[in-house]
Amino acid sequence: MNSQIKEMLPTYLEVATQAAREGGKVLEKHWGRLFNIQEKEFSGDLVTEADQESEDAIIKLIQKNFPSHQILSEESGIHESKNREFLWVIDPLDGTTNYTHQFPFVSVSIALLFQGEPVAAVVYNPFMNEMFQAMRGKGTTFNQSPVQTSDIKQLEKSLLATGFAYDRRENKDNNYAEFCRLTDACQGVRRAGSAAIDLAYVSCGRLDGHWELGLRPWDVAAGALLVEEAGGKVTSFDKGAFDIYSGIIMASNGHIHDQISTEIMNVRKERGLTK
- Full set of structural domains in the chain with CATH: 3-147 (3.30.540.10), 155-270 (3.40.190.80)
77 pLDDT tier (thresholds 50, 70, 90)? confident
Q: What is the pLDDT of residue 87?
A: 97
Q: What is the pLDDT of residue 75?
A: 83
- Number of Cβ atoms within 10 Å of the Cβ of 78: 10
Q: Residue range 186-195: average pLDDT?
A: 97
From the list 165, 173, 244, 160, the residue with the least C-alpha distance to 199 is 160
Contact 210, 257 (CB under 8 A): no
Q: Supply the pTM of this predicted model.
A: 0.93
- Of 1 and 85, the structure prediction assigns the larger pLDDT to 85
Q: What is the mean pLDDT of residues 153-178?
A: 89
Output the 3-class SS for 69-117: EEEEECCCEEECCCEEEEEEEEEEEECHHHHHCCCCCCEEEEEEEECCE
As a whole number, the mean pLDDT across the chain is 93
Q: Residue 45: which pLDDT band, with cuts at 50, 70 and 90?
A: low
Residue in 72, 187, 81, 158 with CA at minimum distance from that of residue 118: 72
Reply yes or no on whether the pLDDT at 209 is more than 80. Answer: yes
Q: Tens digits of per-residue pLDDT, 13-29?
A: 999 999 999 999 999 99
Mean pLDDT confidence for 194-209: 98
